[in-house]
Structures are given as structure tokens and as C-alpha cells.
Amino acid sequence: MNNSIYIVVPLVMGVLAVGFAGYLANFVLRKDTGTPAMQKVADAIFKGAMAFLNRQYRTIGILAVAAGIIVGGVLALLGQGDQAARISLAWHTTIAFWVGALCSAISGYIGMYVAVKSNSRTASAATRSLGEALMVSLRGGAVSGFLVVALSLLGVSIIFTLYGGLSNPALAPSLIVGFGFGASFVALFAQLGGGIYTKAADVGADLVGKVEAGIPEDDPRNPAVIADLVGDNVGDCAGRGADLFESTAAENIGAMILGVALYVATKNIGWILFPLVVRAFGLIASALGLLYIRPSRVVEPDKAAGRDPGEIAMNQLNIGYFITCGVSIIGVFLASYLLLTGINARLFPSWVWFGLAGLTGILLSIAFVYITQYYTAGTWRPVREIAAATLTGPATTIITGVAVGFECTALPVLAISAALGLSYFLGSQVNLGTHGVISVGGIFGTAVATMGMLMSTAYILAMDTFGPITDNAGGITEMGGGAESVRDITDALDGVGNTTKALTKGYGIGSAALAAFLLFSAYLDVLYTLEHNNAAVYRVDLADLPVFIAALIGITLIFFFSALAIRAVGAAAKRMIEEVRRQFRENPKIMAENPADRVEPDYARCVDISTRGALRAMILPGVVAVATPIAVGIILGPQAEAGLLMVGTMGGIVMATFLNNGGGAWDNAKKYIEAGYLRVNKEGEMVDRLDTSGTVLGKKSDAHKAGVVGDTVGDPFKDTAGPSLHVLIKLLSTITLVLAPLYVYVNTIFPHP
């Protein structure tokens, strides 16, 4: 049985997906770019974003070249096996590292290029109809989504093929782990830099503009407004794109490594190619979901009998997502049927069990969508609770938000635990034996579930990038002096964008959690092939003191890294606040009463301050993230490294959930107040938002000011530290996979207890 031919599927689908992204880009770029006033704003955003990205990638590029050489050198000198084997591993890894880094950078770059070209087009489309605005913004976002997934898929497939994967399938996966490490490396700095940039600008713009000067969001008088709009792009588009690029790459490679053991048992290469084929099918599913959404299906506000346009748009996106999930379910069963053969199972053929495991992963992704909405949408208890707390000032707003954020870790973890347990159980029904206490079928079941969950990545990323595009479109409409009705449409889409951004983060952390166990097992597999103490290698025993200490350090790393990321924002934001205050002080004409007397503030200087601040600030957390696992692996040994990896990952999952959802809830509590939903009775207690006997406390009320403080605190949580933790936990995996030979080498020289 030779399933090698199936490598064609990811290669062809990858190329087609790149073509599809080109088609979407062409569709968007052909649209008109709005009035000259709009174009002027859009142009400033474009220049700021590109200037940042150029400088950022230059810095990252230097770091990546150096890191690739160091990794290669370490593996050549201190790796395992004879000299030829060491040098082969070294150069394969270094090249793969660079290719991974490059693909990640390219997908981030092009995706953002199209995104910042889509914003004025969306603003212009919004002058015509909701349906067209939705379509332009979503397709603009989809360029990034499809490019990211396609490049990650093509990259892994091509490197695997070139490295002799088809002729020597057992060896190739461990040669390509460098690709995942390269992707993680770039993603870490891209997410950190983008996240710091966006929040420094946002915090600065909000605190001085909205709170102190009392001007609305996106007001052209605010010197930081362009930097803020640029930030939405570099943080959300480029950062999240790099994040999901590495997710798909790292988890894909991890699953392939697990497949090696099954290939050895069955001589069926299908077990190794399975992740690639499933993801190729996922691209088809995502494309179908995306193509479903067209203006003709959207009920325009004037015909909607008062229905909220945001609700109408969200509904369309949801239908598209369910179509993607439905097609994905067919795809995962089909791929299992085609590829996962050659082994007996209980009751049913093995493909049924693994298909069900894939279904589990897809269901988990849907569960995360609902859980995230519960904790971050204004219609439910958590956000209302924070809104009520704003009545007693900023302190209770923060206290309540932290409580909500801590609380909301429970449901996702229970969902992940259930999905992990179930997919493991389903996989273990296939007779594949055990490694230590690990059921080989069970662990492959969790890998299939992860792959199932990741099938919709392109669609999810399209929804995510849709967020900053609509956010920018709103800003451009406001600053370009668009009509009220147009602003209503962009506001509605912006609100939807906030929800979809939160969903993407939930999705990212859910898939990372599901993948944690498989990546960790892949690491143990790698240790096993390195012949490190094979009797005990499949054991990560917390009763072993070095493992215990490494685990404790793993959790602490999560806290420490979050501190560095948040502090970076605080520092950069402080400089921004000082600059905005300085401009208002030294140039009072910016705020002149009569619009005719006003002068334009110095936007470029604010953009520049954010850029420099972000690039400087991303270095320290990045270096800590890379250095800690290496130090632990060297000092405490390979098994302890597994402890750091696992417990660090657990801590990262929980902490990121706290940061993301807490921040999202504060944001939406503020929006709840701005929407006029906060009503109080005459004792000052909150009443139902529809209770017309209550007094509305809207913008500029003390409650709103407290809400803005909460939102501002949440900004670096949800847009800098939280997303950076996503990247960190996958970086921990790829770094351990790549450097496993080093840890084993040191352990051979100085055996650990």
C-alpha cells in the first residue's frame, strides 16, 4: 500500500489556496477607495503600518539569521550520532528554520498589505450597503487567512518532500521541526512587537483623548489617532497571522512525528501524510464557508424592520462558519478513510474511530465559540456584572473584571479536558500498543482532534482580520467626515469584529491546549529516537525533583513573561501619553473651538514613538522566552524539560484565557455603557437595560469613565500579553523539539539524578 501519492493533495491545494487569496485580493483592490478625505486617512494608516512592519521585520530578520546559525552550530557540535549525522541534522534544521521564518514573514506582510488596502474600500462600500461592506472587509481579511494557511501547508509539504520524506518517511519529520521553530520564533516577536505597538497607541489615545480632553474615539484632533489605527493592523492582522501560522505548522509537524511510529508499525505513509491532507481539506471547507457570504444574502438595514445590523452580519458569519465545520467533518472522515489504514480496531474500522476523534476537535472549536461569547458579550452576566461595578468607580470595575477573568478559565478547561479525554479514548480503541503509559492510538486520537479543530483556521483568520479592517473603516469614516448612516454600518461591523477577534483568541488557545499533549508526546518520541534512557523516557514524573522544579519554573515563566509584555506596554504608553499631552499643551490650536481655526496634530510623531517603543520593548520578553527552556533543559535535563513544557503550557492556557477574556469583558462593558444600556434607579442601582424607568448613564458619566479605565487596563491583557502567551506555549514545544539532541548530549556528559 503506497499512499505517497497523497502528498499531491496538500501541494495542489496549497497552490490553489494561494491563487484563491490572489483572487480575493484582486476582488478587494478593484473596489473604489472612497472620497479624497477618506483616502488621505487611509494613506496615513498604510504608510505607518508599512513603516512599522519594515522596521520590525528587519529586526526580526537579523535575530532569525543569528538564531538559525546558532541552532545549526549547537546541533553540529553538541548533537547526537556520528559527525555526518550531526552535520546533516544541523543544516537541515537551519534551512528549515529560515524557510519557516521567511514563510511566516511573507504571509504576515502580504496579508497586512491587503488588509490596510481594504479599510478605505470597506468605508466606501459602507456608503452603498451593509452587504457590500461586509463582503469587502471579510474578503480583505480572508486574503491573510488563506495565505497564512496555504504557506504553512506548502512550506511543510515541500520541505518534507525535499528532505526525502517520501523515500525515508521515518526520518524526515524530525528534520523539519526547524520549520516550526522558525515560525514560532518570528511569531513571538511579531506578536510581541505588534501587540505592544497597538496597545501603547490605544492606551495613549484613549487616556488623554477620550478621558482627559473629552473628545470622541477616532477624533482627528487626537494626535495618537493614526497610530491607534495603525496599531489595529500590526497587532491584530500581522500578529495573529504569525500566531496561527506557527500553530498550524507546529501542530502539523508534531502530528507527523507521532505518525512516524505508526508508519514504522504499518509501513503506511498515510499516517504521516494525514495531517497535511486534512489541512488541505480544511482549506476547501473554509473556502466554501467564505464563498457562501454574499451581499444578496444580507438583509439591508432599511429592510430589516429594526433588526440590529451587527446581528445580521454576525449571523452571516456564523452560517459561513457552520458550513466550514460541516464540510470539515466530511473531510476528516474522508481523510481517515483514505489514509489511516492497516491496523485493526475494536468494533469498527480504525478510520471510524479517528474520524470521531476529528469530530471531537471540531465540536470543541464550536464550544469555544459559545463559551467565549458568554464571557465577553454584553448580553450575558459577566459583562453586565462589570458594567454594574462601574457605578462604584474604577477600583470596583477592576476588581470585578479580574474576578470575571479568573472565573472564566474554568469552562474552557473543562471543555478541553473533556475533548482530550474523549479523543484519547476514541483513538485508543485502535490497537496500536503503548509507549510507557501512553496509548499510541490514544495520543494519535488527540492529534486528529487537533487537526480537525485546525481545519477551519483560514475561515477563523478571515473573521479575525475582518476586525481591524472594519475598525479602521470606522475610523476613516469618522475622520473623513462620512454620514451618520454610514457610520452606523461601520460601527455595527466594528462591534462584530470585536466579537470575532475574541473568538479567534479562544480558538487559538483551545487548539494550543488540545495540541499540548500531542506536542509533548512528540518530544518524548524524539527523545526516544535519540536513545536517551529509553526505559524511562516516556515518563514525566513529578515525583522526580528536577521535574518538579522545572514544572514550577514553567508556571513562573508564564507569569514573568506576562509581566514583561505588560510592562512593555505600560512603558511605551507612558511615552505616548506624555507626547499627546505635550502636543495639546504646546499647540492649543489643535483643540480650537471653531473648526476653521484648528490645526492638524503631528500624527507622524506618535506613530514613530509607538514604533520605536514597540521594537525596543519586544526584545527582553522574547529573549526570556527563548532562553528559559534552553537553560532548564541544559541544567535539569531532558525529562525535566518535558515537565517545564507541560506545566508551563497548562499555566499558559489558563493565564491566556484569563487575560483574553478579562480584557474582552472590560472592553464590552465599556461598549455596553456607550450603547446606552446602563440604566440606574434612583437609589443608584443598576436595572435591566430595557427598563425605561431607569436613567441612562451614557458617555461622559462617571460610570463611563470607570468603564474606560477597565477597558484600558484590559487592552494590554487581551491584545499583548494574552496573544503573546499563545505563541510562547508553542515556542516552548518547538524549541524543545529542535534542541532535544543538545539536552541529551549535556545529560550524557553530566548525568542528571
Residues between 415 and 454 with contacts to a copy of itself, criterion CB under 8 A? 416-417, 420-421, 424, 436-438, 442
Q: How far is the CB of 258 from a copy of itself (least distance, A)?
A: 13
- Supply the minimum distance, in Å, between the C-beta of residue 302 and a copy of itself: 40
Q: How far is the CB of 264 from a copy of itself (least distance, A)?
A: 20
Span of 164-172, 293-301, 475-483, 562-570 interacting with a copy of itself by CB under 8 A: 562-570
Cβ of 1: how many Cβ atoms within 10 Å?
A: 9
Q: Does 265 bind a copy of itself (CB under 8 A)?
A: no
Residue range at the interface with a copy of itself (CB under 8 A); choices 296-304, 400-408, 463-471, 503-511: 400-408
Between 355 and 382, whose beta carbon lies closer to a copy of itself? 382
DSSP 3-state assignment of 687? strand
Of the candidates 374, 560, 598, 696, which one interacts with a copy of itself according to CB under 8 A?
560
How far is it, in rounded angstroms, from Cα 224 to Cα 246? 31
| Secondary structure (3-state) at 66 | helix
Q: Map the footprint of a copy of itself across residues 538-557, applying CB under 8 A.
A: 538-546, 548-549, 551-553, 555-556
DSSP state letter for 521:
H
Intra-chain end-to-end CA distance of the chain, in Å:
46
> Interface with a copy of itself includes 622 (CB under 8 A)?
no
**Nearest approach, Cβ of 642 to a copy of itself (angstroms)?**
7
List 59, 396, 431, 701, residue binding a copy of itself (CB under 8 A) = 396
Residue 19 in the binding site for a copy of itself (CB under 8 A): no
Contact between 468 and a copy of itself by CB under 8 A: the answer reads: no
Cα diameter, the chain: 82
Residue 224 to residue 371: CA distance in whole angstroms: 34
Q: Do the beta carbons of residue 353 and residue 424 sit within 8 Å?
A: no
Alpha-carbon span 86 to 69, nearest angstrom:
14
Residue 564 or 673 having the CB closest to a copy of itself: 564
Helix (H) or strand (E) holding 629: helix 619-636
Residues 637-676 that bind a copy of itself (CB under 8 A): 642-643, 646-647, 650-651, 653-654, 658
Q: Under rule CB under 8 A, which residues in 211-230 are in contact with a copy of itself?
A: 211
CB closer to a copy of itself, 197 vs 321? 197
Residue 700 burial (C-beta neighbours within 10 Å; 0-12, 13-18, 19+)? exposed
DSSP state of 32: -
CB of 475 to a copy of itself, least distance (A): 21
Residue 339 engages a copy of itself in binding (rule: CB under 8 A): no
User: Cell 487569496 maps to which residue?
Assistant: 21
**In terms of CB distance, is 502 or 647 closer to a copy of itself?**
647
Residue 298, SS3 per DSSP: coil
Amino acid at 468: P
**Minimum distance of a copy of itself from residue 343's CB (angstroms):** 20
d(CA 253, CA 140): 29
Kindly give, in sequence order, each residue whose CB lies less than 8 Å from that of residue 517, ignoring residues fewer than 6 positions away.
420, 424, 443, 446
| Distance in Å, CB of 179 to a copy of itself, minimum | 25
Cβ atoms 507, 477 nearer than 8 A: no
Number of chain positions touching a copy of itself (CB under 8 A): 83
Question: Which distant-in-sequence residues (6+ apart) come within 8 Å of 583 by Cβ?
Answer: 223, 590, 601, 602, 605
Cell numbers that stand for 415 in this block: 471543555
Least Å from the CB of residue 538 to a copy of itself: 6
DSSP string for 459-494: HHHHHHHHHHHHHHHHHHHHHTT--HHHHHHHHHHH
- For a copy of itself, the binding residues in 563-592 under the rule CB under 8 A are 563-564, 566-567, 569-570, 573-574, 577-578, 581
C-alpha cell at 257: 512525528
Query: According to the binding rule CB under 8 A, does residue 683 interact with a copy of itself?
Result: yes
From candidates 52, 197, 517, 672, binder to a copy of itself by CB under 8 A: 517
DSSP string, 330-398: HHHHHHHHHHS-SS-BSSS-HHHHHHHHHHHHHHHHHHHHHHHHHHHSTTSHHHHHHHHHGGG-HHHHH
What x-and-dash track marks residues 684-723 binding a copy of itself by CB under 8 A? Answer: xx----------------------xx--xx--x-------
Task: Work out whether 170 is an interface residue with a copy of itself (CB under 8 A).
Answer: no
* Residue type at position 160: F
Over the window 108 to 137, marking each residue x when it contacts a copy of itself by CB under 8 A and - when it does not, the resulting string is ------------------------------
Nearer to a copy of itself, 76 or 549 (CB): 549
**Which position has the grid cell 470597506?**
122
Gap between the Cα atoms of 153 and 252, Å rounded: 9
Residue 570 CB, nearest distance to a copy of itself (Å)?
A: 5
* Smallest separation, CB 497 to a copy of itself (Å): 23
Contact region for a copy of itself (CB under 8 A) — 131-139, 281-289, 303-311, 406-414? 406-414
Q: Quote the distance between the C-alpha of residue 424 and its chain's center.
A: 25
Nearer to a copy of itself, 15 or 399 (CB): 399
Task: Output the nine-digit C-alpha cell for 410.
Answer: 474554568
Shortest distance (Å) from residue 371 CB to a copy of itself:
13
Please, what is the minimum distance in Å from the beta carbon of residue 651 to a copy of itself?
Answer: 6
For residue 487, which amino acid is it?
A: R
Q: What is the rounded distance in angstroms from the CA atom of residue 186 to the CA atom of residue 239?
A: 10
- 196 is a site residue for a copy of itself (CB under 8 A): no
